[in-house]
Amino acid sequence: MTDVLYAVSEGVATITLNRPDKLNALTPDMLSAVFRHVAEAGADPAVRVIVLTGAGRGFSAGLDLGLIGSGASSGVTTDPGIAPQWGDDIGPEMQRFFAGGWNTLITCRKPTIAAINGPAFGWGFILALHCDIRFASRSALLNATFARIGVPGEKGSAWLLSRLVGTARAADLLYTARRFDGAEAERLGIVNAVLDDDALMPHVTEYARNIAQFSAPRALAAMKAQIWTAIDDSYDVGFAYADHEQELATGTADFREAFGSYRDKRIPRFTGK
């Protein structure tokens, strides 16, 4: 049985960490597979949204404890070897800020959603932080465990947390390495909503399918680039990008389809063109 599952249905690619007996503890091969599947979904015109979750009772316990200190964690393949993703030419150039590997979840021009269905510790927590949107179950527990094992905030976690919750709250979570539940994560702004355990995946699936069905993929690609580069751009640069992309969008088939479907009172048939 593979440690990472990949499935596509109704425009949604679901990537599932699949070591439930180890609470989906991560290995280099698993991380490489996640990055490869994200790139695969990004290049697939049938995929509009990507969901990342865990099998069993947890999202991910983080790096497999057996690998800590062994040097094996450096064996993650950061180049998935897949052709450039659809939408790389849309919106601000994200490679100004983000390289491949861990940041594949950011540089992929399709929306990414983390369904945190239980513990998300260490590197598991970081994977969720790299997604655009996060939902958590009521049984979810999260933490940035790094201070307690003698390492700094790994894999961009301090950068991501500071932008999500501000420096003081990021410092609290990183300095104490304390565990906090989904309700607190929602109050802090780390997750968008907390749901009952049995309602999490139905909600995330329906949410993702709604985006896949009703949101124009070219517009989504441009907006994702705007969102992730906005903090490092001036207002004028962001405004100019928006104007430029709006001018391009009004000449696309998706723009015409949006108005045509509204006029005809039917579900849009977007193509990303």
Reported as a single tens digit per residue, the pLDDT across 208-258 is 999 999 988 888 998 898 888 887 887 788 888 888 887 887 788 888 877
**Residue pointed to by tokens 């993650």:** 76
Per the CB < 8 A criterion, the answer to whether 106 and 86 are in contact is: no
Q: Are 112 and 103 in contact (CB under 8 A)?
A: no
Where is pLDDT greater, at 35 or 267? Answer: 35
Alpha helix (H) residue ranges in the chain: 28-43, 104-107, 123-129, 157-165, 167-176, 182-188, 200-214, 217-229, 235-249, 253-264
pTM above 0.85, yes or no: yes
Contact 202, 161 (CB under 8 A): no
Cα(181)–Cα(268) distance, rounded to whole angstroms? 39
The matching CATH number, chosen from 3.30.450.40, 3.30.465.10, 1.10.3720.10, 3.90.226.10, for 4-211 is: 3.90.226.10
Tally of residues, the chain: 273
The answer to whether residue 79 scores a pLDDT higher than 70 is no
* Residues 98-112 pLDDT 10s: 666 788 899 888 999
Q: In what order do the strands lie in the sheet with 12-17?
A: 4-9, 12-17, 49-54, 112-116, 133-137, 193-195
Structural contact between residues 101 and 37, judged by C-beta atoms closer than 8 angstroms: no
Assess contact for 91 and 48: CB atoms under 8 A.
Answer: no
**Domain extent listing, the chain:** 4-211, 216-264
Instruction: Flag the least confident range among 89-93, 114-118, 216-220.
Output: 89-93
SS (H, E, C) 51-112: EEEECCCCCECCECHHHCCCCHHHHCCCCCCCCCCCCCCCCCCHHHCCCCHHHHHHHCCCCE
* Burial readout 136-162 (b: 16 or more C-beta within 10 A, e: otherwise): bbebbbbbbbbeeeeeebbbebbebbb
For the chain, give the mean pLDDT.
Answer: 86
